[in-house]
Structure 1
Amino acid sequence: MDPQPRTNDRPLIFAVDDDPITTLIIEDSLAHRFQVEIASSGEQALQLFEQLNPDLILLDVMMQGLDGFEVCRVLRAHSKGQTLPVVMLTSQDDLDSIARAYEVGATDFIAKPINSALIAHRVGYLLRAHATLKALARQERQLAAAQRIARLGHWEFDPAQGRFQFAEAACELLQLPHRPRGFSLQQLLAQVHPRERTEVEQCLLSLDHEQRPPIQFEHQLCTGGRVLRQNVEYSSEFSGWLGTVQDVTAMHRSAQRIIKLAYYDRATGLPNRDFFLESLQRRLDQDDTAELCVLVVEIDALKRVGMGWGQAVTEPLVRNLSRRLMADLDIAAPEAPLPSPQAWNPDQPQLLARISDAAFALLTTAHNQASLKLTKRLLSALSQPLAVAGIELPMRAKVGLSDALDCDQDADTLLHHALAAAATACLSADKVQTYHRDLDIGERSRLTLEARLRRAIDQHELELWYQPKVDGRSGRLIGAEGLVRWRDPEEGLISPGRFIPLAEETGLIVPLTNRVLDLVCADLSLMHAPGLSPVKVSVNISAAQLDDERLPEEIAERLSSAGLSPQNLELEITERALMARLDSVLGTLSTLHRLGISLSLDDFGTGYSSLGYLGRFPIDELKIDQSFVMDLGTGAAGETVVRAIVALARELGLWVIAEGIETQAQATWLCSNGCEWHQGYLYSRPLERDAFLRLLDRRAPPPWSTLPCLSARSDRARR
C-alpha cells in the first residue's frame, strides 16, 4: 500500500507490525484523532520512513525479517530518527524484550494484546511529552546561542564533592576541555593569570560557606589576555553554588579607551589636567595635613613652535621633553591597563601630568626646600635646546610652586596658585617662583589692565609717536618708525612695556595692530600736506597676523581709502615672528611685497640661526638690534657681529639700519663700517604726531643738524 500524503494537521502515527489483526486494531483505535499509516515489515518501514516523516512510530518487537530491535537501531542512527518517539509493542510478560527495547533506544513500550480503549490516550500523552521535550531542547539551543553571542556560560559547584561542573559555553570561555566529572579547584585556578590567582582562590574557597552573600570578581586568563567576570550565588534548592562566567574583554577595552581619552594626554601618554586635579583632590580629602607641593613647569618654546609649525612638529618635541622629565624624576610611563584617578595609587610620592600645550604639573610629597631643589634639577634637565627644522631653539622654562598647607585644601586652588606663580617666574633670576598672596593682587591688576586695554582700543585712546630715521652722513631725514602709545584718561601715558606683552598674551595684539594701521594711514595723509616733505613710515606688524592671508588685501584697502601709495608704508617684522612661522607666512609676505610695501626684519641676530632662510623671504631691510649697538666704538665683540650683518646685507642687496644709537662714537663707528642709516636718541626721541609733522617742514633744519659728527663730515665734504 502506497503511503497517503498528509491531508490535515493531525499527527501522523506510523504503525509497523506483521500481524494484520494488530494493525487493524491500531488503525481503528487511532483514526478518529490521528492520521495512521501501516507497514507490515521492518524492511517496508525503513523504505517508507523518510517519505512519511511520522510524528510517532508504533513498532512491533517480533517480526519476520528485520525485527523491531534492528529497525529501532537503524532509525536512531538516522538524523530524522534520533529524537522521534518510538514505542515498542511487546508481550506484557516479556521483560527481556522490554529491557532490550530501551537499550536500542525505544522511547516507551505498549504491552500486547493492545487495549483499544487506552491506546489513543497513551499515544496522545507520548506526543505531548515529545512536544515538551522538543520545546525544551529548542529553548536550550536558544539559550546556548544567546550565551555564545553574549560570551556567557554557567557552572555549578557542589561543596560536598568539591567539584566544579561547567556547561559547554563556560568551558569554552575558560579554555577548559569538556569533562562530565567536572574540575577541581586547582584545575580551574591553572587557567587564571598568575598575578590574580591568589585573589581568585580566596574567593572560590569561600564557597564552602552556605551563608555567604552573592559575590562577583573579575580575572584575566593566563593566555590570550581575555578578562572574565564571575558571578556566584548560593542556591538552597541545589545545596550548592550557581555561577555565571562572562567574557568582558571588549567591555574592558572600551572602558580603557574611555579612560585614555578622558584622563591621558595623547601626545605623551602622561595623565592630563583632569586626572591631575581629581587625584590631587583625592589626596587632599584623605589627609588635610599632608605635605603636598604642586610644581608647574611652563615651556614658552612649545607655544612658539605650536604657532609656527603646528602639532605635527610639536608632538615629537613634547614627547622628548616628557621623557627628559620622567627620566630625571625616575617616573615610569603609565602602562595598560591605565588607571583612572580613583584607581591611582595615592601612596606614590610623585605624579607627573601634562596640563596644557606648554606646561607640565608635578605633584610631590616633598616639603618646600626639597621642592626647590627638585625644581632646579628639572630646569637643568630642560636646559638643552630644541632642534626644530634645523634651528636650535633655546629652552625658556619657568617653574611655579604652591604648597597644600598654604591653601584651602582645594585642588583647583592649589593648581591655580602654581600657575600664577609660574606666570611671574620669568621675572625671577632663576626662573622659579613660589606662590604668595601678593601674586593674586598682581593677577587682578593684570585682568583690570586687560579690560582697560580693550576699552582703549575701542575708544581710540591709542596714538602713534614717531622716531626719525636719519642718514648718518648727511643728516637727512629718511623715514620714521611709528610707535604706539596709550594715553589713559585716568593714568596718562602707559608704557608700551606694560601693555604690549599683555596684548600678545591675551590675543588683543590683533585688534591693537589693526588700530595702529588705521592710525598710520591717517597720519600719512597729514604728512602729504603742502609744504611738507613726506617720508616712508614703518610700523610693527604682530606675529599673529602673519598667518592671515587677508592681511595684504586689508592693508591695501586702508592705503587706497587714505589716497596713499604702498611705497609710503613699511612693515617691521621681528625675527622671532618670522622664524616661528617660516613656510606659513611666505605667501603673505610675498603678496605684501608685490603690492609695493617694504618689509624690514627687526631685532636681527638676537638668538635665531636664520641666515639660511634670508634668501627665501622678500625682505628689503635688516635692522641691527640696539643690543649690538651699545658697545660700538669700544672694541667689544659686538663690533664683529655688526660688521658681519652689514656685509651680509650688502651681499643680499638689502638696506641696513641700526637702532638705539645714543652716542656720537656709535654713529661714527657705524658710518665708518658701512651702516649709514641710523635711529636713536642721539638724533631724536619718539615725537608726538604734531611735533613730527613740524620736522617735515622743508623750511626748518632738523634739530640734529648741529651735531658735531655731522658738522665734521660736512667740513670734510667741502674740503
Structure 2
Amino acid sequence: MLFEPFFRQTSIAMALLDRRGIITSCNPALETLLGFSAGELHGRTLFELVDGEGSPSCRRLIHNVATAPALPLSLGLYWTCKNGRVLPGDLTLLSTGEEPEKGNGLIATIEDRSESKVVEARLAYLTNFDPLTGLANDLLFRDRLKQALSRSRREASMAAVLVFNLKRFKDFNDSFGLAIGDRLLKEIASRLSCGVRQSDTVARLSGTKFALLIEGLSEMAGVTLLLRKVRESLSAPFLVEEQEVFPSTSVGIALFPDDGNQPEELIRNAESAMYRAGLSGRNSYQFYTEGMNSQARQRLRLESALYRALERNEFEVYYQPQIDPASGAPLGVEALMRWNHPDRGVVGPDEFIPLLEETGLIIAAGEWVLRIACAQCRTWQDEGFPDLRVAVNISARQFLEKNFVPLLQEILKETGLEAGSLDLEITESVLMQESERLTGTLGAIALLGIHISIDDFGTGYSSLAYLKRFPVNGLKIDRSFIQGIPGNSDDMAIAFAILSLAGNLGLRVTAEGVETEAQLGLLNTWRCPQLQGYLFARPMPADSFPPWAMKALATPGDYRPV
C-alpha cells in the first residue's frame, strides 16, 4: 500500500510491466520524461520505446529479470520521446516477486542521463582541445602533424612547424592577475587563428607556447608570407585595462623534409630555433639550422643543476590556503614546490617539474616535499590549527613506485601527522593507468586513512566511472572552468555538473583559481565546500601562513590577501 503513493509522487520515472515487458502502469514522471500520456503507454511493450539497435538488448534484459529474478539489472539505452527527441537514459529492472498471473511482475525505472552525456561530451572535447583558448592541444597537434607529413610525402610537398613562445608572461600575470593573463592568451590565440588558412592547424602546446602547422607548400615563399602576416597581427598592441601592452614573442620554424621527417623531430627542432630566437631580442624569429642545439644545452644545464638542487637546499615549499567559503577560515593548505636557482633566481614549476618527471628526479623531490609538508602541517596543528589538512601533488611516476605506500607510512610515523590530515592530489592520467599495482596502491592508501583527490578534474579523458571504481575522496575543479564563470555558460554548466556529481557521490570538492567576488558569489550559491585562489591568498612561504591564518580567523569574510 505504501508503494502506490510513492509510485505516483516520486520524480523517478517508473513503470510496472508484466513479464513480457508490456506496460501495465506508469507514473507521471515517466509521462513527463517521454512526453506520452499514460493511455498512450499502457499496453505497449517497453522495448518499443527504445531507439535504434538497443531494442533487442532491452528485450533480453526483460527476459533475464523475468525468468531469473535476483538483483536489479541495469542497461544504458536511448529512448524515443513523443516529440521525436532521442533521450539517453539508464534502465533498471527489478522483479517484484509476484506470481505471473497477477500481471505486475517487473518494476522499471529510467534515469535521465542527458546532463551526464553533456558533461562526458565536454570531457571528450577537452581530450583534444585546450579549454582556455579552444585551440588544438599538444596531443591533437601531434596527430595532425603526423597525418600532414604522410600527405606531404605522397604529394612531394613541403610542410612547416612554427612554435611561438610568449616572453615574460609571468611578469604580466604578476602585474595584472591571472584572469587578465588568460584574456591575453585567448586574444593571442584568436589573432593566430585569423592569420592562417583554413587548412592550417593552430595549437596551444603548453602555458605560453603555441604552434602552427602549415602544409601543402610548394616553396619557401609560402612560409615567409604567412609568418609575416602572423607577426604583424601579434605586433599590434593589446588593450588591457584601458592601456596598451605589447607582448613579445619568439618564433622558431622547422621545415619538412629538410629539418626532420618525424613529428617529434620537427617540433624539437622548431623549439630549438625558438629558443635561439629568444636570445635575439623582442619579436624575433629563427629558422632551424643544422647544429642548432641551444635548447639541448640549456636543458642539460638545467638538468645538471636539478641534480644538485636538493643537496644544496635550493628547493622551497610554498603553501596556498584552502578556505571555508562561509567563514574564510583555512581548512587546509596545498604544498607547492619552488626552486630558488642560484643564477636564474626563481624558476617556475612549469619549467622544472616536467624535467623532474623526465629524469626520474621527481621521486626524490616528491619524497622531500612530502616530508617537509607533513612535518610543517603537524607543527601548525600543534601551534593552534588542530584541524588543518595538507594537500600534496603526487606524480604518476611517484604514485606507482613499489615502495610508495611504505614511504607514506614512514613519513606519517616520523612526523606524527594523522593520516586523515594528508590529502594526496593525483591527476586523472594516473587513474587511466589501470593495473593491479594501481588498484593495490589506492586500496592500501585508503586503508591507511589518507585522502585521495583528483586534481584538475574535467581536463582529462578518464571516465566518470573511475570515481565509483576507486576510493577517491575529493575533486578539484580545474581553474580553467572557474575562470570562465559566471560569464561562460559552458564553464558554468561543467562546474555545476561536477559539483552535483561529487555531491551525489559524497566527494569533497575544491574549486581552485578563484579570483573574483563574482566567482565567489556563484560558488557560494552552489555551496562549494572548499575554495582556493588569489582572491584569498597567493602561495606563501611557511613563515607567512600563521599571520595570514590568524588574520583570516579574526576577520571572517575579509578575503583580501595578505
TM-score (ref. length: structure 2) = 0.51
Once residues 372 and 595 of structure 1 are traced to their aligned partners in structure 2, the CA distance between those partners, rounded to angstroms, is: 60
1:524 corresponds to 2:390: no
Per the alignment, residue 349 of structure 2 pairs with 496
**8 Å CA contact retained: 1:417, 1:435:** no
1:484 corresponds to 2:337: yes
Give secondary structure in 1 for the equivalent of 2:472: coil
Once residues 424 and 541 of structure 1 are traced to their aligned partners in structure 2, the CA distance between those partners, rounded to angstroms, is: 33
Once residues 556 and 624 of structure 1 are traced to their aligned partners in structure 2, the CA distance between those partners, rounded to angstroms, is: 29
Larger radius of gyration: 1
Give secondary structure in 1 for the equivalent of 2:318: strand
Per the alignment, residue 296 of structure 1 pairs with none
Return the offset for 1:616: 1.0
Once residues 494 and 360 of structure 2 are traced to their aligned partners in structure 1, the CA distance between those partners, rounded to angstroms, is: 34
Per the alignment, residue 176 of structure 2 pairs with none
Per the alignment, residue 639 of structure 1 pairs with 492
Per the alignment, residue 420 of structure 1 pairs with 269
**1:500 partner amino acid:** I
| CA shift in 2, pair 1:667/1:439, >3 Å | farther
Return the offset for 1:466: 0.8
| CA shift in 2, pair 1:531/1:614, >3 Å | closer
| CA shift in 2, pair 1:301/1:639, >3 Å | closer
Per the alignment, residue 677 of structure 1 pairs with 530
Per the alignment, residue 461 of structure 1 pairs with 314
**8 Å CA contact retained: 1:534, 1:696:** no
Per the alignment, residue 330 of structure 1 pairs with 154
Per the alignment, residue 579 of structure 1 pairs with 432
Per the alignment, residue 717 of structure 1 pairs with none
Within 5 Å, give how 1:366-385 maps onto structure 2. Answer: 368=220
1:657 corresponds to 2:516: no
Q: Can you give the 5+ residue segments of structure 2 that lack an aligned partner in the other structure?
A: 1-136, 159-215, 226-251, 278-284
Once residues 439 and 408 of structure 2 are traced to their aligned partners in structure 1, the CA distance between those partners, rounded to angstroms, is: 17
**8 Å CA contact retained: 2:423, 2:452:** yes
**1:523 partner amino acid:** Q
Deviates most, 658-667 or 577-586 = 577-586
| CA shift in 2, pair 1:439/1:524, >3 Å | farther
Return the offset for 1:516: 1.1
Once residues 324 and 138 of structure 2 are traced to their aligned partners in structure 1, the CA distance between those partners, rounded to angstroms, is: 38
Return the offset for 1:608: 1.9
Within 5 Å, give how 1:99-118 maps onto structure 2. Answer: none
**1:707 partner amino acid:** D
Per the alignment, residue 471 of structure 2 pairs with 618
**1:601 partner amino acid:** I
Once residues 368 and 475 of structure 2 are traced to their aligned partners in structure 1, the CA distance between those partners, rounded to angstroms, is: 25
**8 Å CA contact retained: 2:330, 2:552:** no
Return the offset for 1:453: 1.6
1:360-398 CA-to-partner distances (Å, cap 9, x unmatched) read xxxx9976457999xxxxxxxxxxxxxxxxxxxxxxxxx
1:691 corresponds to 2:547: no
1:707 corresponds to 2:531: no
Select which of 556, 575, 585 maps to 2:409.
556
Within 5 Å, give how 1:138-149 maps onto structure 2. Answer: none
Once residues 151 and 453 of structure 2 are traced to their aligned partners in structure 1, the CA distance between those partners, rounded to angstroms, is: 44
Return the offset for 1:684: 0.9
1:590-624 CA-to-partner distances (Å, cap 9, x unmatched) read 21111111011010111425213221111100111
**8 Å CA contact retained: 2:482, 2:519:** yes
Per the alignment, residue 18 of structure 1 pairs with none
Within 5 Å, give how 1:264-413 maps onto structure 2. Answer: 326=150, 329-330=153-154, 368=220, 401=254
Return the offset for 1:679: 0.5
Per the alignment, residue 34 of structure 1 pairs with none
**8 Å CA contact retained: 1:548, 1:588:** no
Return the offset for 1:588: 1.3
1:649-706 CA-to-partner distances (Å, cap 9, x unmatched) read 0111111110010111111100101213110111111111011134455xx5447634
Runs of 4 or more consecutive aligned structure 1 residues displaced over 6 Å after TM superposition: 320-324, 370-373, 403-406, 415-418, 423-428
**2:298 partner amino acid:** S
**8 Å CA contact retained: 2:327, 2:557:** no
**1:330 partner amino acid:** R
**8 Å CA contact retained: 2:275, 2:294:** no
**8 Å CA contact retained: 1:527, 1:534:** no
Per the alignment, residue 65 of structure 1 pairs with none
| CA shift in 2, pair 1:543/1:434, >3 Å | farther
| CA shift in 2, pair 1:647/1:438, >3 Å | farther
1:63-91 CA-to-partner distances (Å, cap 9, x unmatched) read xxxxxxxxxxxxxxxxxxxxxxxxxxxxx
Within 5 Å, give how 1:153-192 maps onto structure 2. Answer: none
Give secondary structure in 2 for the equivalent of 1:561: helix
| CA shift in 2, pair 1:443/1:469, >3 Å | same
Per the alignment, residue 33 of structure 2 pairs with none
1:249-278 CA-to-partner distances (Å, cap 9, x unmatched) read xxxxxxxxxxxxxxxxxxxxxxxxxxxxxx
Give secondary structure in 1 for the equivalent of 2:500: helix
1:545 corresponds to 2:410: no
**8 Å CA contact retained: 1:604, 1:625:** yes
1:159-198 CA-to-partner distances (Å, cap 9, x unmatched) read xxxxxxxxxxxxxxxxxxxxxxxxxxxxxxxxxxxxxxxx
Per the alignment, residue 125 of structure 2 pairs with none
| CA shift in 2, pair 1:544/1:475, >3 Å | same
Give secondary structure in 2 for the equivalent of 1:682: coil
Q: Can you give the 5+ residue segments of structure 1 that lack an aligned partner in the other structure?
A: 1-298, 305-317, 332-347, 351-363, 374-398, 710-719
Per the alignment, residue 72 of structure 1 pairs with none
**8 Å CA contact retained: 1:533, 1:696:** no
**8 Å CA contact retained: 1:466, 1:688:** yes
Once residues 653 and 570 of structure 1 are traced to their aligned partners in structure 2, the CA distance between those partners, rounded to angstroms, is: 16
Give secondary structure in 1 for the equivalent of 2:270: helix
Once residues 312 and 255 of structure 2 are traced to their aligned partners in structure 1, the CA distance between those partners, rounded to angstroms, is: 39
Give secondary structure in 2 for the equivalent of 1:528: helix
Return the offset for 1:422: 5.5
**2:482 partner amino acid:** V
RMSD between aligned alpha carbons?
Answer: 4.4
**8 Å CA contact retained: 1:483, 1:539:** yes
**8 Å CA contact retained: 1:684, 1:704:** no
**8 Å CA contact retained: 2:328, 2:557:** no
**1:689 partner amino acid:** A
Once residues 669 and 625 of structure 1 are traced to their aligned partners in structure 2, the CA distance between those partners, rounded to angstroms, is: 16
Aligned length, in residue pairs = 336
Return the offset for 1:576: 3.0
Q: Give the percent of matched residue pairs that are identical in Structure 1 and Structure 2.
A: 36
Give secondary structure in 2 for the equivalent of 1:599: strand
**8 Å CA contact retained: 1:368, 1:403:** no
Give secondary structure in 2 for the equivalent of 1:637: helix
Give secondary structure in 1 for the equivalent of 2:293: helix
Select which of 591, 597, 601 maps to 2:450.
597
Give secondary structure in 1 for the equivalent of 2:511: strand
Give secondary structure in 2 for the equivalent of 1:602: strand
1:506 corresponds to 2:330: no
| CA shift in 2, pair 1:462/1:668, >3 Å | same
Return the offset for 1:571: 0.5
Select which of 459, 474, 481 maps to 1:606.
459
Once residues 628 and 416 of structure 1 are traced to their aligned partners in structure 2, the CA distance between those partners, rounded to angstroms, is: 33
Once residues 695 and 443 of structure 1 are traced to their aligned partners in structure 2, the CA distance between those partners, rounded to angstroms, is: 42
**8 Å CA contact retained: 1:571, 1:598:** yes
Per the alignment, residue 141 of structure 1 pairs with none
Within 5 Å, give how 1:76-91 maps onto structure 2. Answer: none
